[in-house]
């Protein structure tokens, strides 16, 4: 497949789902990186920090075409508009460039991510951060790995460590801080953590929760493409993932069991009766 002057690999349909997911995010991420090197402009979506580039569209088009070749019976849902109704009961959820604002401004903290879900839950996730050559992979039938090495982050004391000892990564758009219904739960959770990180790519964050670089993570109102890839990998590493509704907003939480429980309680403490 050729996008402009960039060529991406046609994948082998006999790859298993994990191999296919890993190949898709690696190819999509490298395609986006090559396009950025060639020069890109951005279009604003909902705000100055919510942008989309030609690389987002090209990477999603590549993944869409490969999935239609390799998994023709599966559904497809993409951040940039891909929508295919499958017949298998399974759906691939695509985030071609997560952290587009970072990507556009030359940061390395962005990735390509994909998840496969069925009617019950997420089955697997894959996240590839091209400029650091990090590939996280994991799911229900495969332990979480980073570049092929098994992650055992949550198989020791980590699951019992509080968020006050670990810290948390998060994201909130500045405009939401003006809304008490959102700001109060966020503030309660943020101030419960030992330290706070806001880096601009939820999937990169969740990969680092899975490998232990970040202690835990929380964010409100995540679309599936921002949540499911990382959720699959964190839980495959032995961690916990949860969603709690506070003040009409859904908050998504990941980390060790105790940290997730702490963040859930903190978010609920910001509820407006």
Question: Mean per-residue pLDDT for 183-187?
Answer: 98
More confident residue, 2 or 79: 79
Q: Where are the alpha helices (DSSP H) in the chain?
A: 17-38, 54-70, 100-104, 163-166, 180-190, 202-211, 224-236, 257-269
Rounded Cα distance, 32 and 53, in Å: 9
pLDDT tens for each residue of 230-263: 999 999 999 999 999 999 999 999 999 999 999 9
Q: Is position 60 annotated in a ligand binding site?
A: no
Q: Is position 141 annotated in a ligand binding site?
A: no
Residues 6+ apart with CB under 8 A from 19: none
Q: Is position 79 annotated in a ligand binding site?
A: yes
Residues 6+ apart with CB under 8 A from 168: 189, 190, 193, 195, 196, 197, 214, 215, 216, 217, 218, 255, 259, 263
Q: Is position 224 annotated in a ligand binding site?
A: no
pLDDT tens for each residue of 23-62: 999 999 999 999 888 777 656 656 545 556 888 999 999 9
pTM: predicted TM-score of the whole model, two decimal places? 0.94
Q: Domains in the chain, please, with CATH?
A: 17-150 (3.30.540.10), 157-270 (3.40.190.80)
């Amino acid at each position: 497949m050729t996008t402009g002057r960039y060529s991406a690999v046609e994948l082998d349909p006999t790859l298993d789902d994990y191999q296919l997911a890993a190949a898709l995010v690696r190819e999509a991420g490298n395609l986006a990186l090559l396009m950025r090197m060639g020069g890109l402009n951005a279009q604003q979506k909902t705000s100055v920090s919510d942008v989309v580039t030609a690389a987002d569209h090209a990477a999603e088009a590549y993944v869409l075409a490969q999935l239609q070749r390799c998994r023709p019976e599966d559904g497809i849902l993409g951040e940039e508009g891909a929508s295919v109704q499958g017949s298998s009961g399974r759906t691939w959820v695509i985030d071609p460039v997560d952290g587009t604002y970072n990507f556009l401004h030359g940061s390395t903290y962005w990735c390509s991510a994909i998840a496969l879900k069925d009617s019950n839950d997420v089955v697997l996730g894959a996240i590839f951060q091209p400029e650091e050559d990090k590939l996280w992979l994991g799911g229900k039938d495969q332990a979480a790995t980073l570049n092929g090495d098994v992650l055992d982050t949550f198989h020791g004391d980590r699951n019992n460590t509080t968020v006050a000892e670990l810290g948390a990564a998060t994201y909130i758009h500045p405009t939401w801080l003006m809304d008490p219904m959102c700001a109060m739960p966020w503030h309660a959770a943020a101030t419960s953590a030992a330290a706070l990180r806001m880096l601009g790519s939820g999937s990169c964050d969740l990969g680092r929760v899975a490998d232990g670089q970040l202690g835990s993570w929380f964010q409100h109102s995540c679309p599936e493409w921002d949540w499911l890839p990382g959720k699959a990998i964190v839980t495959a590493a032995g961690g916990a993932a949860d969603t709690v509704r506070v003040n009409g907003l859904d908050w998504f939480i990941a980390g060790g069991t105790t940290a997730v429980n702490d963040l859930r309680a903190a978010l609920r403490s910001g509820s407006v009766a």
